[in-house]
Structure 1
Amino acid sequence: MFKRFLVAGISAAFLFFLFFWLGQFRSELQAQEIQEGMLRQAEEISSKLSPEELVGQVIHVAIPGTVLDPIAKKEIETIKPGGVILFGRNLGSKSEIKSLNKDLQTSALENTGLPLLISVDQEGGRVIRVKDGVTQFPGAMALGQTKDKDMAKKVGFVTSYQLRKLGLNFLFAPDMDINNNPFNPVINTRSLGSNLETVLNAGVSYEEGARLGGSIPVIKHFPGHGDTNVDSHLGLPKIEKTLEELKNFELIPFQTSIQNGADAIMSAHIVYPKIDPNFPATLSSKILGDLLRKEFQYQGLIITDAMEMDAIDEHYQKEDPGVLALIAGADIILMTSWGPTTQSMRDQILKAYKKGTLVREGKDLLKEAVKRQIYYKLKYGIISEFGELATAGRANSVFPKELPEVLKNHFIEQDKNRESLFSQYYEDTLNRDVSRKAIVSFPKTFLPEQVSVDKTVFYLKGEEFVSDLRTRTIPNSDLSNLRKKLEKKEAKRAVLNSFTQTELDLALSLAQKFPEAEIVCLHYGTPFLDLPDAPNLKILFSFSPTLESKKALLYSVLDRKNEVPLVDLILKPNPRKASASAETEVDSVSKNTK
């Protein structure tokens, strides 16, 4: 009897594993069939394009307004771009954004036969382009301070999903730069943090979530823009690190994200003299080609940072930077303008292509770049999405008439999975929860319950803060009344808010003047200022000026039960101690009220 049960058990287990293995094998075969189908489609589509159309596909352009005006229409007709980047000036209400994107896609299909990648910098916090239709999350540094990978993945997914619903299918986030230089003028709070572990965990999780959301996420700025004190918009930064040093620190988040499936990377306009003394990463074959493509075996999209930035425009304009970027390994040349500037870039690349400059080692680099871009437009369902609009002009001969059944089924399933994940990941309280968990304290932890509300005086500016107090029926004082309450010792705690250095200096002057009171400053700007440091002064950071971030700061004083943790960042050295400050309270107040 026992032997019979044993044999039956072994047989059942064998059958289970056999069916499991067959299922896995079938899934792998199907995945391979889908990938090969998309590669064939990309090859077929790109073979129909003229040299002028191939050049246009690798250029992404900007437009001036919120509608497809004559300037925008001419730009698409002339350049025949593969993508358009949108800024705050282009983005109005939810319905306006959808209408603009539909018109852009219709025009692109008529003039190029292919839909556009429509990109946006929607990092959250201080870098928000879309104000309507997308949750206003607090931004990268706030997300990093939560130390919560699950939250990062959800924020990435929801942001990407909501953007795709508006027609924005190319997300320039997350920022994978490790901001280990507190004097960095451009990355700053756009970074997830100052240490490797924070950026690695939050960045990889955000990218993975965003990839599932439907808008192609772009990790940036390869191979790292965190350790510089020069803004590449205004100058040419240099980082004096060896390749080995970068591999042990800055490159780890990028490499891990690539291994995890990242599909798009933005290059940095930074020179790394110990790797390539002649060119910044964007133009460097040693960095984009040898390191990223060959050593890291990265097969995804590479997009340049904006080519009008001074790091390129002021230093390499005479050397045909668009051509150099394509030779280095880039697939997309990002332009943030239109008209003569983009036409000059198109002419530069077209001239080089006709001369044979873009054929290297038997490979047509321009066609390879276009093919790769088309492949990802297929992979993310961007081409299948616009079949109904592809009815006129160039679309009649370029746009695929009929996708293979396996691809059509794949894209239907992809959409279903996306909707299912949204219902799983999105909660009305997600933004609130992230914003609250992001709040941290400097220079020590903060205990909200040490002082009761009736022993606290508030001097807050800005309608969001004042409205929150009003809702709670808590009075808001002016500065004069706050000082009187502290002088008479009617209040044990004073709460102010700050965004600028001057406002932080006011908090320090009050801490000096009233050493027996606790001064709490709710700071929603960058933490990379000359931070005041006094025994009775606490600064709470939100890293973000969003509404939920401001509410989270006040929540941390009024409602929070547990301790606010210490900030985990490399901040500017030598904080301004109370004893060393030469500024008087009067000086501080006068500056603050100008």
Structure 2
Amino acid sequence: MPSAEQRKKIGQLFAVGFHGREINKEITTLIRDYGVGAIVLFKRNVLDAAQLQTLCLGLQKIASDAGHSQPLFIGIDQENGLVTRISPPIASQQPGPMTLGATGSLDYAYEVAKATGGMLQHFGINMNYAPVGDINSEPLNPVIGVRSPSDQAETVSKFAAACARGLRELNVAPCIKHFPGHGDTAVDSHYGLPVIDKSRADMEKLELIPFRDAVANNIEMVMTAHISLPQLSKDGLPATLSSETIGILRNEWKYDGVIMTDCLEMDGIRAEFGSVKGALMAFQAGVDNVMICHTFDVQSAAIDHVCDAIAAGTLSQERIDASLERLRKLKERYTSWPRALRTEPPETLAALNKSGEKLASQVYADAVTLIRAEEGLLPLKPTTKIAFVSPGPDVPIGGAVDSGTLPTRVPWIADTFEERIRKRASQTTDIRFTSSTLTDEQWKQVEEADVVILATRNARESKYQKELGLEVARRRGSSPLVSVATCAPYDFLDDAQIRTYIAVYEPTVEAFSAAVDLLFGDAQPKGKLPVAH
């Protein structure tokens, strides 16, 4: 059995999540008795503004009362856009990475990060697991997609730097992810172990560029990916557990910031190695901070397992002390007890949300991309008879799971999209389709409408959406059809028979509203497609 002192020392190197919106027995035990140094929050932990603020303050009070020398890092994945843990009406919806990429504006990326940082600070959150440094070079990537600003390395690098700068300015520690690059895979590491069989030379020309640049700019933290890179690491281990891959950061690039893992309860690690064993392997590989997001028994067992390994001599105390010092220095820079135990007044959040909404609306307006347009079709008129065709709730949203089956990505909100159109054109018919296609009556409505607006979400990964869209185009013939890709822009990018095609890059109400403004002539198309076409 590890000593209480050793257990608390090792606990500082863990970032843990918990279930529920109130402090429970398990998280109290982890902070008080196991000395965990960081908490990971998800959508499952958020109810409203007052609750979230109370939760963060309560967590810090437990740490303070337990004698922690420094406050907790409280971290969250507030990437914005598709991955938004704190959503309206609590906070203003901010545009995600590919939306920003479509504007081409690094100033917007910086300002959005500042708005995000200000909001997080209000609640007592001092770390953001962003920016995303992955390059979406594989259009069928189910886990990155619009979480990346572009398929070009230099663009991703510049946008990541702007995001990090904005967060840093508001005293929120940024963390670039997922080293050495999760973009070129069609497998989601939440559900399996992706393999990227590329040479080091090839990765130097693409995947590694944003991370190398971030390290050169002294990024505070780097998060590793659960991906296998057989040509990069001869040990055959996923990047998170590979001393060869971690060695690129630490030994070759001389990075002395904090290296942390993605959640070890993802199947990319758990299924083959187990989360407890994986925690020890990550430290042995050179990682500083291990993330375990869901299960108390796994979290506590992992801390004890690392303590036992030090006692047995399979992990050196010196190795661990180096990680403790890196985290201590980062906490010294980004945390203090007076700040951690302070509560911001509600009116501060109201002001942040007002300015955040104004900024976001400008970005969304500048991001909407008219990829193709049938001559003379736009703008639509209020008297236009519209059939709005969209899939039911069973659309692909990818991993980044919260707890069990609860997705943390933006849900499919076709009702709200339809409302936005109906406000402009009262003769709007709402048609939902599933994998069993449309009824005869629905096809009749599609064929008789003046204009069909087809909204899809990641249709390239969803055969029934793709087939339905092409069938709508066939039946419409020369009659007007507008397709809106509400997430990845690839849905009908190469299908010329869909003559009017719009991309909005995220399935948020705010992004779709900007598309509606474009359709009805209240805005001009300004966005540029940030991926190859």
| Aligned residues of 1:86 and 1:119 also touching (Cα < 8 A) | yes
Displacement of 1:107 after TM fit?
0.8
Q: Does the 8 A contact of 1:196 with 1:249 survive in 2? A: yes
Deviations 1:280-320 (A, max 9, x none): 2111222213x101222212111101111222122223993
Residue 105 of structure 1 deviates from its aligned partner by 0.8
AA aligned opposite 1:539: Y
SS at match of 1:218: strand
Matched-pair contact (CA < 8 Å) for 1:236–1:311: yes
Q: In the TM superposition, what is the alpha-carbon distance from 1:325 to its structure 2 partner?
A: 1.4
Higher gyration radius (CA): 1
Paired residues for 1:361-372 under 5 Å: 364-372=318-326
Q: Distance in 1 between matches of 2:39 and 2:504?
A: 32
TM-score by length of 2: 0.83
Change (3 A) 1:104 1:447: farther
Aligned residue in 2 for 1:515 = 477
Aligned residue among 347, 364, 367 for 1:438: 367
- Report the CA distance shift for 1:474/1:283 in structure 2 as closer, same or farther (over 3 A): same
Which residue does the alignment assign to 1:286? 244
CA distance in 2 between counterparts of 1:356 and 1:338 reads 27
Secondary structure in structure 2 of the residue aligned to 1:320: helix
State the partner residue of 1:324. 281
Whole-angstrom distance in 2 between the partners of 1:564 and 1:112 = 54
User: 1:524 pairs with 486, 492, 512, which one?
Assistant: 486
Taking structure 1 as reference, are residues 426 and 201 closer, same or farther at Cα in structure 2, changes over 3 Å only?
farther
Following the alignment from structure 1 to structure 2, what is the Cα–Cα distance between the partners of residues 540 and 154? 25
**Partner in structure 2 of residue 143 of structure 1:** 100
Maintained 8 Å contact 2:275/2:302: no
- Tell me if 1:255 matches 2:212: yes
Aligned mates of 1:446, 1:116 — CA distance in 2: 55
Q: Report the Cα distance in structure 2 between the residues aligned to 1:454 and 1:335, rounded to whole angstroms.
A: 52
Q: Which residue identity is paired with 1:244? A: A
> Structure 1 residues 277, 426: CA separation in 2 closer, same or farther (over 3 Å shift)?
farther
Q: Partner residue of 1:156?
A: 113
**1:324: Cα distance to partner?**
2.3
Corresponding residue for residue 115 of structure 1: 71
Matched, 1:76 2:31: yes
> Could you tell me how far apart the structure 2 residues matched to 1:66 and 1:452 are?
45
1:201–1:234 CA distance, 2 compared to 1 (3 A): same
1:477 match: 429
Q: Name the aligned partner's letter for residue 194 of structure 2.
A: P
Q: How does 1:279-358 map to 2 (within 5 A)?
A: 279-289=237-247, 291-317=248-274, 320-358=277-315
Offset at 1:259? Answer: 2.1
Instruction: Indicate conservation of the 8 Å contact 1:61/1:334, yes or no.
Output: yes
| Structure-1 separation of matches of 2:376 and 2:59 | 51
Q: Could you report, residue by residue, the CA deviation over 1:236-285 in whole angstroms, capped at 9, with x for unpaired residues?
A: 22211222221221111111122223111101111211121222211122
Q: Distance in 1 between matches of 2:274 and 2:280?
A: 11
**SS of aligned partner of 1:550:** helix
| 8 A contact 2:370–2:525 mirrored in 1 | no
What residue in structure 2 maps to residue 377 of structure 1?
331
Rounded Cα–Cα distance in structure 2 between residues aligned with 1:283 and 1:233: 16
C-alpha offsets along residues 51-103 of structure 1, whole Å, 9 cap, x if unaligned? 22111100111111101122322232332201111111111100000001111
Compute the displacement of 1:139 (Å): 1.6
3-state SS of paired residue (1:79): coil
If the length of structure 1 is used for normalisation, what is the TM-score?
A: 0.75
Whether 2:416 is the aligned partner of 1:464: answer yes
- Residue 45 of structure 1 is matched in structure 2 by none
* Distance in 2 separating the partners of 1:107 and 1:560: 52
* Kept after mapping to 1: 8 A contact 2:31/2:37: no
Does the aligned pair in 1 maintain the 2:364–2:511 contact within 8 Å? yes
Deviations 1:304-348 (CA, angstroms, capped at 9, x unpaired): 011112221222239932222123221111001232101210111
CA distance in 2 between partners of 1:133 and 1:431 (Å): 15
Give the Cα–Cα distance (whole angstroms) in 1 for the partners of residues 527 and 276 of structure 2.
Answer: 51
Equivalent residue runs for 1:160-309 within 5 Å: 160-278=117-235, 279-289=237-247, 291-309=248-266
Task: For residue 357 of structure 1, report the CA deviation from its aligned partner.
Answer: 3.3
CA 193–90 in structure 1, closer or farther in 2 if over 3 Å, else same: same
Counterpart residue number, 1:93? 48
**2:211, 2:185 → 1: CA distance?**
18
- Matched-pair contact (CA < 8 Å) for 1:267–1:303: yes
Query: Which secondary structure does the structure 2 equivalent of 1:315 belong to?
Result: helix
Q: Is the 8 A contact 1:220 1:265 kept in 2?
A: yes
CA distance in 2, matches of 1:266, 1:366: 18
SS of equivalent to 2:213: helix
Q: Which residue of 2 aligns with 1:496?
A: 454
Aligned residues of 2:91 and 2:119 also touching (Cα < 8 A): yes
Q: What amino acid is the match of 2:515? A: L
SS, match of residue 51 in structure 1 = helix
The letter of the residue matching 1:435 is Y
2:522 and 2:467 mapped to 1: Cα distance?
Answer: 26
Q: Which runs of 5+ in 1 are unaligned?
A: 1-48, 390-414, 572-594
Alpha-carbon shift at residue 465 of structure 1 (Å): 2.8
Specify the alignment match of 2:58 in structure 1. Answer: 103
Q: What secondary structure is seen at the aligned counterpart in 1 of 2:428?
A: coil
Distance in 2 (alpha carbons) for counterparts of 1:176 and 1:330: 18
AA of the residue aligned to 2:329: Y
Contact 1:138 1:543 in 2 (8 A): no
Task: Determine if contact 2:517/2:523 at 8 Å carries over to the other structure.
Answer: no
Give the alignment's Cα RMSD to 1 decimal.
3.0
Separation in 1, partners of 2:386, 2:526: 19
Alpha-carbon spacing, 1:469–1:478, altered in 2? closer, same or farther (3 Å): closer
Greater helix fraction, Structure 1 or Structure 2: 1
